[in-house]
Amino acid sequence: MAMNSNRHYIPALEPLYAKFNDCALPMLRIVTGLILIPHGCQKAFGWFGGAGFARFTQIFDSIGYKPGAVWLSIIIFVELVGGLCLVLGLFTRVAALLVGLFMVNAIWTLWAKGFFWTAGGWEYSLLILAVSLVFMVRGGGSCSLDGKMSREF
């Protein structure tokens, strides 16, 4: 997309904007996936200071998601497989849909704690929901495995 030098407050930055224009959305897609994957590893394996599958199952049971192991397995799948799909840009719209549904549920669950993440609130979930909506609409883009296939969702 051509830049209009009359539009920018600092026209000298236009070459920089143009240079990074094509990698901005792939970077967001990849970083989002890379954020989700460790969260899945915390739940599944106890890595990165996580409680692991057995403890998270108890937590899910205690907050009303019964059976906890089933709900936890679904979330681990979304975070690990969905995160990996976002990183690769493979089945991006499906992965983004699953992540978005998960974030709607996370917002619902965290609503009573308020907005701010520092108080255990839902602002992080809202941000990931917004990002997932972008990729539901835009897909993986040309810098993705989806972009290399003849068709995508």
pLDDT (0 to 100) of residue 87: 97
Domain ranges of the chain: 28-141
pLDDT (0 to 100) of residue 54: 96
pLDDT (0 to 100) of residue 130: 98
Residues of the chain with pLDDT under 70: 1-5
pLDDT (0 to 100) of residue 2: 55
pLDDT (0 to 100) of residue 4: 55
pLDDT (0 to 100) of residue 7: 81
Query: Do 69 and 56 form a contact (C-beta atoms < 8 A)?
Result: no
pLDDT (0 to 100) of residue 5: 54
Look at residues 48, 41, 51 and name the one whose alpha carbon lies nearest to residue 75: 41
pLDDT (0 to 100) of residue 142: 85
Q: What is the pTM of this model?
A: 0.88
Q: Give the pair of three-digit tokens for residue 70.
A: 């089933």
CA distance 12 to 75: 46
Give me the helix-helix angle, 14-45 and 92-110, nearest 10°.
Answer: 70
pLDDT (0 to 100) of residue 26: 95
